[in-house]
């Protein structure tokens, strides 16, 4: 069997592994708070999230797909003999980071992970192969989005606290219902954003490997396969990450859970409409800390938030370095 075909097979396989890991880690973002407030069972929450994740990935988010395919790396630079090393290095680094962080229960940004890995491996070929202007724009949105989530959740929590401070029991049923609605909306938004990011990654690799021409019509099989894979990741969701998001940052109430979930889901969908791949992990963490701070700032477990923040800061540069190192290692031993 042709060696090039085998390498290409493993590259495509790693695309699907990344899609699965993305869903597996990010399941916590979608279902942790409704589970923590006990408005829905974990198994039912995962099943509902899985369905809406599939719908979002298959039917929505085409601009995010285009961003991954055409706005990160200059495809014309990738028509080189060692393109397989570039793609393998990026995907191996990204999959490894997602796997390790999920095992240790760290919620991470798959967007930071993927973009960092793509940049690092391509830098091994040519500095100008990276579309720096569009990449910096994407990174800036990734950086500021969690702070926007914090502010929005903080303000909405304050407004609700003022308006319904003496009527929590009366409105509790409404917010319990909104917690369930938020799972559907958040999974839909996540599928449209993170799911389409996986589709974009797959098509980017296929184009770079000369299996497809540079175009932006997504084959149905690619949509279907990525939607199924990321939905399976959601369905099997990482329990340690769910615990971190749901219980370790703040002892959240029904109405705060609804505010945090809907804030993160709304911002994710807004970013999707403009084609920006976002970190739902850091949007939900920002929203939880914002809502918790609005009620009682001392009750927020800032040490846990700091751990998440440190991982967040390290993800992009670490994956740039890791994928660059893997690429240089592979080219030096000339496999």
Instruction: Quote the DSSP letter at residue 191.
Output: I
Token pair 């019509």: residue: 217
139-154 pLDDT tens trace: 999 999 999 999 999 9
CB 128: neighbour CB atoms within 10 A? Answer: 11
d(CA 286, CA 283): 5
DSSP three-state, residue 63: helix
What angle, 0 to 180 degrees and rounded to 10, lies between the N-to-C axes of helices 280-296 and 3-36? 20
pTM over 0.75: yes
- The overall average pLDDT reported for the chain is 88
Q: Mean pLDDT across the stretch 274-298?
A: 91
Q: Mean pLDDT across the stretch 215-220?
A: 78
d(CA 95, CA 114): 9
DSSP three-state, residue 130: strand
Structure tokens at 259: 């505010």
Structure tokens at 10: 């493993």
The secondary structure of 246-306 as a DSSP string is: IIIS----HHHHHHHHHHHHHHHHHHHHTT----HHHHHHHHHHHHHHHHHGGGS-HHHHH
The answer to whether residue 257 scores a pLDDT higher than 80 is: yes
Quick one: pLDDT at residue 211? 85
Residue 73 sits at φ, ψ, to 5 deg, of: -120, 140
d(CA 223, CA 213): 17
Quick one: pLDDT at residue 2? 62
- Point out the least confidently predicted range of 87-96, 271-280, 303-312: 303-312
Q: Mean pLDDT across the stretch 286-295?
A: 91
């Amino acid at each position: 069997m042709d060696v090039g075909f085998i390498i290409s097979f493993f590259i495509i396989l790693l695309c699907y592994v990344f899609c699965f890991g993305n869903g597996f880690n990010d399941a916590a973002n979608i279902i942790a708070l409704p589970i923590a407030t006990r408005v829905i069972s974990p198994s039912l929450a995962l099943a509902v999230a899985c369905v809406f994740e599939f719908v979002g990935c298959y039917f929505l988010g085409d601009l995010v797909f285009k961003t991954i395919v055409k706005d990160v790396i200059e495809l014309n630079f990738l028509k080189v003999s060692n393109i397989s090393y570039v793609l393998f290095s990026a995907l191996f680094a990204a999959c490894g980071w997602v796997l390790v962080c999920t095992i240790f229960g760290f919620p991470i940004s798959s967007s930071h992970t993927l973009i960092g890995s793509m940049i690092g491996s391509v830098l091994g070929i040519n500095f100008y192969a990276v579309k720096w202007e569009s990449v910096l724009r994407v990174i800036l949105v990734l950086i500021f989005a969690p702070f926007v989530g914090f502010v929005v959740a903080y303000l909405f929590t304050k407004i609700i606290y003022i308006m319904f401070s003496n009527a929590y029991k009366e409105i509790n049923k409404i917010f319990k219902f909104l917690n369930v609605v938020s799972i559907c909306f958040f999974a839909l938004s996540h599928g449209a954003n993170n799911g389409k990011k996986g589709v974009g990654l797959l098509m980017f690799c296929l184009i770079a490997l000369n299996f497809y021409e540079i175009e932006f019509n997504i084959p149905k099989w690619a949509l279907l396969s990525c939607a199924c894979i990321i939905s399976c990741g959601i369905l099997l969701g990482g329990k340690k990450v769910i615990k971190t998001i749901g219980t370790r940052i703040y002892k959240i109430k029904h109405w705060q859970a609804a505010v945090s979930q809907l804030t993160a889901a709304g911002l994710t969908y807004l970013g999707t409409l403009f084609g920006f791949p976002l970190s739902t992990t850091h949007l939900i963490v920002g929203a939880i800390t914002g809502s918790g701070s609005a009620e009682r700032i001392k009750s927020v477990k800032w040490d846990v938030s700091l751990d998440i923040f440190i991982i967040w800061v390290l993800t992009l540069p670490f994956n740039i370095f890791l994928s660059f190192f893997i690429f240089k290692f592979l080219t030096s031993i000339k496999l």
